[in-house]
Amino acid sequence: AGGGQRVVQGGCAILAGVSAPARILPERYDPAPVESKWQGVWERERAFHAEPLARDGEPPVLPERPKAYVLEMLPYPSGEIHIGHVKNYTMGDVVAHFRRRSGAAVFHPMGYDAFGLPAENAAISTGEPPAQVIAENIARIREQMRRLGFSVDWETEIATSDPEYYRWTQWIFLRLLERGLAERREAAVNWCPVDQTVLANEQVIDGRCERCGSEVELRQLTQWFFRITEYAQRLLDDMDELIDWPERVLTQQRNWIGRSEGARVIFRVQDGEEEIPVFTTRPDTLFGATFFVMAPEHPLVGRLVEGRPEEAAVRAYMAAAARESAAERGDAERAKTGVFTGRYVVNPVNREPLPLWVADYVLMDYGTGAIMAVPGHDERDLAFARAHGLPVRRVIAAEGTAPDAPLEEAEPGEGRLVNSEFLDGMEVDDAKRAVSAWLEERGLGEATVGYRLRDWLISRQRYWGAPIPVIHCPEHGVVPVPDDQLPVLLPPVDDYAPKGRSPLAARPEFVETTCPVCGGPARRETDTMDTFVDSSWYFLRYTAPHLASAPFGREVVDYWLPVDQYIGGIEHAILHLLYARFVVKVLHDAGLLEANEPFARLFTQGMIYRDGAKMSKSRGNVVAPDEYVERYGADTLRLYVLFMGPAADDAEWSDRGVEGMRRFLDRLWRLVGGLDPGPPVERPSFESLEGDEVALALVRKAEATVAKVTADIAERFSFHTAISAIQELVNLGTKGVSEGTIETDRAREALRYAAQTAASLLFPFAPHVASELWEALGGEGLWREPWPVADPAFLERDTVTVVVQVNGKLRERLEVPAGLPERELAARARDLPRVVQAAGGREIVREVVVPDRLVNLVLG
């Protein structure tokens, strides 16, 4: 379409002669100019900036409007964004736009999880410094996101590797240190031999490094831990009350925390003073204990065997256990090995001496590192007893089983206690309570709870992270860096390749310092923090991105938190999502924050596959977002990633599907482009459309679509059905045009109204093209246009289709006025020829009538 056609609009139709009619849009939909135009408009108008933010020396003004903090998990700037990010950020954008137009103050920030191994490894491979690599990647990612048109508030953008940010990561570390929740101690820890650093338990998957996949070793090292185990119960309890999360994520966290109820029972070493407590979930089987086992790492083992004939064998066993990998150690199928120590412990309930063994099937970091072995009722203990010729005793007998019946396998659970003195005859649960009470009265134990969760190991022997802000003084031990000396800046180094100790240790000018307490010479801690520490509080910092006096402002953070809708990948179910909950609870307990939970609602998206496989560069099946933006436009891509299927499910990529989505936008573009110029129309009243079936059908469909799309976004997170509803509306409009049924003025107005509605509803998904269409239809600023509300008059029908069944089988459909009385409905149904035929003369014994829906005639 040429520019000359605009003349027609100016009333010079005569001069323009018989040339093409006025067009409100170019003939063809070309996304590129449309998208850059609207991106420019939104940027100039600061359309998506939200207040309040915390600023130094400026008290915040809190809005009266309801707030909505909409957040997606921030990306790692280790390369470009991939198609999974597009899906993630588009979902967030839909919610943000929807809430904004529904009247909420919407906070929708973005940042970069910029510290950590991915960025550092990228730097190592390119030879550039990590800071430079991530700066380049951030610039590229930011540009990609802009081209996708996300309604992000770029004024609050942060990167966790920025000193302005990690200063406060260090500050938070110090608050944990103050509260006794950060602790340096020796423990058997996971060591990745390729990445040359320790890992948290959460970062070991099936005995392998979460990042590089290599088999993890166990090493005895002194490391920094966050005592997340102190919060195990609260992390569990608050799941039920405070947060609305997908069941599978909650289940994963529950499994990970692994609560089990049981008892602590104290065993005394025979001929010695040592007391060795055990944790058991089956204190009722205490009389069935026939031996006792300690983990090879148990600190008491050395002392117990010292100077004894068994010492050499035990020490050899301990050394062998220390060489095992995490996977070997965890393998339940392996033969049960162990050595006898020559010592005995005394069973507190019956004074029976039990031989004390050391075996690697007992783990040091669960329970107490020692167990009472009950081979009659525990599979592992039975395997060990059989391998080493130890006795097996029955203490639980199922109904009809003799107390001395032999045990073929470890029998758990149901039955009554036998061979157990004062417990005999009790049910298992009663016996548990009875024995716990008995032990407690005598100071020999008590009922207690065990957790599988381990403390969070946060130190890393790698360069690209926030330095742990403490100083080691020969006089004063571990001394925190004073708050006013933060940040402890990450020094530039030449060689940050992993060597098994922090590269910071090779910089004397970094390491050598003075003790803040005594001023004497001291050494800085050289380990850096796990990146999951950085990302455990970033959503707080967004509310105060440049605040210099504090990590966040109390009033502002209390206004925005908790995040109303958080969206991200399921892979963080027990990493980031658990850590962030923990850190927020700690800050809450420290009185720094009102919120007790960071994320009120969570949505976890599915993965996108291609050719039946996970996308990867090596497979060559990666979908590059930029190429699709180039070819089809950002709006098409955004729509397609949400249309693929339920947002929570995995989905298979299809280029044909993308083309189909583009065809839909082309169709809508042509529909709107064929309309006349003019101002937007109001919704016609229901009465005014009486008698005009075409007009009525269009407005009805428009209103039904409003209701459907609103519910799908707000209540169901069902974006693919919302999009298909808009497609139905558009299809009805294009069908009317192609069939030539839009003949009356009322019908033309209704079509225009339907097109406006389609553009309005499409906006959260495809904001550029929707804005352009809206403008073409005479509207302006669709991003601030109130979200439509359906008129209920159009949702009610005056005629309805009633289904007629005979014996539950569909036989006929009946078009009747809505609200027809039951008797009338049944009478009409009975007389239908097909019903009569189906009945075949048999008597109707029952009529089930659901008004406006169905009649079911039951034959005798």
Partner RNA sequence: GCCGGAGUGGCGGAACUGGUAGACGCGGAGGACUUAAACUCCUCCGCCCGAGAGGGCAUCCGGGUUCGAGUCCCGGCUCCGGCACCA
- Alpha-carbon distance of 85 to 605, in angstroms, equals 10
Q: How far is the CB of 474 from RNA (least distance, A)?
A: 37
Closer residue to RNA, CB minimum distance, 190 or 756: 190
Answer yes or no: are the C-beta atoms of 144 and 77 closer than 8 Å. no
Closer residue to RNA, CB minimum distance, 151 or 710: 710
Q: Say what the alpha-carbon torsion angle 340, 343, 349, 350 is, to the nearest 10 degrees.
A: 100
What sign results for the dihedral spanned by CA atoms 636, 641, 643, 644? positive
Closer residue to RNA, CB minimum distance, 311 or 659: 659
Q: How far is the CB of 642 from RNA (least distance, A)?
A: 11
Answer yes or no: are the C-beta atoms of 513 and 523 closer than 8 Å. yes
Q: How far is the CB of 332 from RNA (least distance, A)?
A: 3
Q: Which of 147, 172, 173, 179 is nearest to 589 (CA)?
A: 179
DSSP string, 604-634: EEPPEEETTEE--TTTT----HHHHHHHH-H
Closer residue to RNA, CB minimum distance, 666 or 745: 666
Q: Which 3 state secondary structure label does DSSP give 117?
A: helix
Q: How far is the CB of 286 from RNA (least distance, A)?
A: 11
- Alpha-carbon distance of 364 to 495, in angstroms, equals 37
Task: Name residue 802's beta-bridge partners.
Answer: 814
Q: Which 3 state secondary structure label does DSSP give 339?
A: strand
Q: How far is the CB of 116 from RNA (least distance, A)?
A: 20
- Alpha-carbon distance of 655 to 644, in angstroms, equals 11
Q: How far is the CB of 689 from RNA (least distance, A)?
A: 22
Closer residue to RNA, CB minimum distance, 217 or 558: 217
- Alpha-carbon distance of 183 to 458, in angstroms, equals 10
- Alpha-carbon distance of 210 to 195, in angstroms, equals 11
Closer residue to RNA, CB minimum distance, 613 or 810: 810
Give kind and range of the element (H or E) at residue 367.
Answer: none
- Alpha-carbon distance of 136 to 116, in angstroms, equals 16
Q: How far is the CB of 304 from RNA (least distance, A)?
A: 17
Q: Which of 557, 677, 588 is nearest to 107 (CA)?
A: 557
Matching residue, tokens 């014994």: 845
Q: How far is the CB of 754 from RNA (least distance, A)?
A: 15
Q: How far is the first Cα of the chain from the last one, in angstroms, to the nearest whole number?
A: 70
Q: How far is the CB of 155 from RNA (least distance, A)?
A: 37
Matching residue, tokens 């992270």: 465
Q: How far is the CB of 712 from RNA (least distance, A)?
A: 7
Answer yes or no: are the C-beta atoms of 112 and 141 closer than 8 Å. yes
Answer yes or no: are the C-beta atoms of 699 and 713 closer than 8 Å. no
One-letter-per-residue 3-state SS of 393-456: CCCEECCCCCCCCCCCCCCCCCCEECCCHHHCCCEHHHHHHHHHHHHHHCCCEEEEEEECCCCE
Closer residue to RNA, CB minimum distance, 173 or 361: 361
- Alpha-carbon distance of 313 to 311, in angstroms, equals 6
Answer yes or no: are the C-beta atoms of 56 and 549 closer than 8 Å. yes
Closer residue to RNA, CB minimum distance, 660 or 673: 660
Closer residue to RNA, CB minimum distance, 202 or 534: 202
Q: How far is the CB of 654 from RNA (least distance, A)?
A: 6
Closer residue to RNA, CB minimum distance, 331 or 627: 331
* β-strand pairing of 275-280 with 158-159: unpaired
Closer residue to RNA, CB minimum distance, 544 or 658: 658
Q: How far is the CB of 807 from RNA (least distance, A)?
A: 6
Closer residue to RNA, CB minimum distance, 50 or 423: 423
Q: How far is the CB of 673 from RNA (least distance, A)?
A: 13
One-letter-per-residue 3-state SS of 828-853: HHHCCHHHHHHHCCCCEEEEEEECCC
Q: How far is CA 836 from CA 50, 610, 813, in A?
A: 67, 54, 14
Q: How far is the CB of 517 from RNA (least distance, A)?
A: 39
Closer residue to RNA, CB minimum distance, 331 or 676: 331
Closer residue to RNA, CB minimum distance, 139 or 848: 848
Q: How far is the CB of 839 from RNA (least distance, A)?
A: 11
- Alpha-carbon distance of 105 to 560, in angstroms, equals 10
CB burial readout 554-577, b (16+ within 10 A) else e: eebbebbbbbbbbbbbbebbbbbb
In degrees, rounded to 5, the angle at the alpha carbon of residue 89 between the alpha carbons of residues 30 and 102 is 85
- Alpha-carbon distance of 452 to 229, in angstroms, equals 9
Closer residue to RNA, CB minimum distance, 415 or 553: 415
- Alpha-carbon distance of 393 to 381, in angstroms, equals 11
Q: How far is the CB of 324 from RNA (least distance, A)?
A: 9
Answer yes or no: are the C-beta atoms of 760 and 774 closer than 8 Å. yes
Closer residue to RNA, CB minimum distance, 205 or 793: 205
Q: How far is the CB of 573 from RNA (least distance, A)?
A: 7
Closer residue to RNA, CB minimum distance, 12 or 613: 613
List for the chain the helix, strand, coil content (%; round to 5). 40, 20, 40
Q: Which 3 state secondary structure label does DSSP give 839?
A: helix
Matching residue, tokens 């167990």: 371
Q: Which of 549, 587, 557, 550 is nearest to 53 (CA)?
A: 557
Q: How far is the CB of 725 from RNA (least distance, A)?
A: 8
Closer residue to RNA, CB minimum distance, 401 or 724: 724
